[in-house]
Homo-oligomer: A and B are copies of this chain.
Amino acid sequence: MVRIGIVNVTGYMGAEAARLLHAHPEVELTSVTGRSAAGKPLGEVFPHLAPLGLTVAEELGEVDAIVSALPHAASAKALLPYIERGLPVVDLSADFRLRRVEEYEPWYGKHPAPELLAQAVYGLPELHRDEIAAAKLVASPGCHATAAILALAPAVKAGLIEPDIVVDSKTGVSGAGRTLGLSYHFSEANEGVSAYGLGGHRQLPEMTQELGALCEAPAPRITFVPHLVPMTRGILVTCYATLRGESTGATDRIRDLYRDFYRESPFVRVVDEPPATKQTLGSNRCFLYPTVDERTGRLIVVSCLDNLTKGGAGQGVQCLNLMLGLPESTGLDGTALYP
C-alpha cells in the first residue's frame, strides 16, 4: 500500500481528499496535518471522518506521496522539503499552476519558490496525461478553470471559434472554503445570487494559459465572471464564443468532435441534454453540453462538475493515480449522490 499524507486536512478541500483516499483501494491515508487542530482526533474536527481513526498532526509522518490542501504561498513553502526529497506531490493550491512567475505575481503576490515552476505540471489529465504521469510535482487546477478549460479545449484546438470568449460561472458556496465571511454567512448567501470577482478573478490566467497553448497566437481574450449561488457544491460554467464558418447544423458535428477529443477521458461525458450540477455531486465527472445558437452564430458550451471533486481533490487523486502508475480512475468511479 502506498502511504499518503494530506497537508492541511482541516479545510473542505483537505476533508474531501481524505474522503476519497479513504475509499481508494490502492493507497492508504496514513497521516494528516492541520496547524490549528494539531493533536485532536480527526473525528473531532469532522465527525464524518471519525471512522478513519486518524489524529491531526503538526507535521506529516513517513509517507510515500503527498496531497497539499494549504492555501497558496503557504503551500509552496510547506512542500519545498518534500519536493526536494523527490516525493510525488499534488498541490491543490494555485502555487504551481501558472508556468511563468510574471503571470503568478500580479494575482497572488510574491512566489515563494519560483525555481520549482519549471518542473511543475498543470494537473488537468485530459490535456496533460503523459506529463502528469512523469511528474513529481503536479498543480491541480482551479475549479472554475477546470470546468471552463474542459468546455473550450476541443473548440479552441480545432480553431472553431473566434478568440473572444465569455465564461460565466455559477458556483456553490463551498468553493469559498471553511473560513468565515459575511458573504458566506447562511442568512446572507441563502436565497440570493450575486456576481463577484468583477475586477478580475485569479483563475482567469489559468484559462488563458491552457487555452492559449492549444491555439495559434494571439491568446484568447476571455471575460470571466463567477457568480455565487445558494448551494453547497457544484459549478456550472456557460461559455460563449462566435463560431467561425457555418453554424447551421453545426451542433451535431461539434458534439462528435468533443466526443472524439475526450475519447480516452473516463471522467468527461459529452451529453445530449443540458446537464445539472446535481448530476455530479460527489463524483469526479464533468458533463459537457456544446450547442450552437444558430440565430447569432455562437457556440455555447455548458460544463458542470463538483467543485470539490473534479474541480479539486478528486482531480488531485486522479493525478496522483497517474503519478503512481495506477489507472486514472482507481478509487474514483463512484457515481454521484442523487438526489
Interface residues, chain A, CB within 8 Å of chain B? 12, 15, 18-19, 22-23, 46-52, 164, 166, 168, 170, 172-174, 176, 178, 180-182, 184-196, 198-200, 221-223, 225, 227, 229-234, 236, 238, 240, 242, 269, 271, 273-283, 285, 287, 289, 291, 293, 295-296, 298, 300, 302, 304, 333-339
User: Are A338 and B194 closer than 8 Å at their CB atoms?
Assistant: no
Q: A164-B296, A191-B191 are in contact. List 5 more A-B contacts (CB 8 A).
A: A47-B273, A48-B338, A198-B300, A223-B295, A240-B240
User: Are B227 and A236 closer than 8 Å at their CB atoms?
Assistant: yes
In the complex, which residue of chain B has the Cβ closest to the Cβ of A52?
B335
User: Are A194 and B47 closer than 8 Å at their CB atoms?
Assistant: no
A281 to B282, CA, bound (A): 11
User: Are B295 and A188 closer than 8 Å at their CB atoms?
Assistant: no
Chain B residues, Cβ within 8 Å of A15: 338
User: Are A282 and B279 closer than 8 Å at their CB atoms?
Assistant: no
User: Are A173 and B190 closer than 8 Å at their CB atoms?
Assistant: yes
Contact of A337 among B19, B178, B279, B333 (CB under 8 A): B19
A336 to B278, CA, bound (A): 16
Contact of A335 among B19, B181, B222, B242 (CB under 8 A): B19
A274 to B194, CA, bound (A): 7
A19 CB to nearest B CB, Å = 5
A322 to B335, CA, bound (A): 24
A242 to B333, CA, bound (A): 42
User: Are A269 and B23 closer than 8 Å at their CB atoms?
Assistant: no
The 4 A-B pairs with the shortest beta carbon distances in the complex, nearest first, are A192-B278, A194-B276, A48-B336, A187-B339
User: Are A12 and B232 closer than 8 Å at their CB atoms?
Assistant: no
User: Are A238 and B188 closer than 8 Å at their CB atoms?
Assistant: no
User: Are B277 and A240 closer than 8 Å at their CB atoms?
Assistant: no
User: Are A187 and B174 closer than 8 Å at their CB atoms?
Assistant: yes
* A185 and B188 in contact, given A236-B194, A293-B223, A304-B193 (Cβ under 8 angstroms): no
* A180 and B187 in contact, given A193-B229, A296-B222 (Cβ under 8 angstroms): no
A258 to B255, CA, bound (A): 41
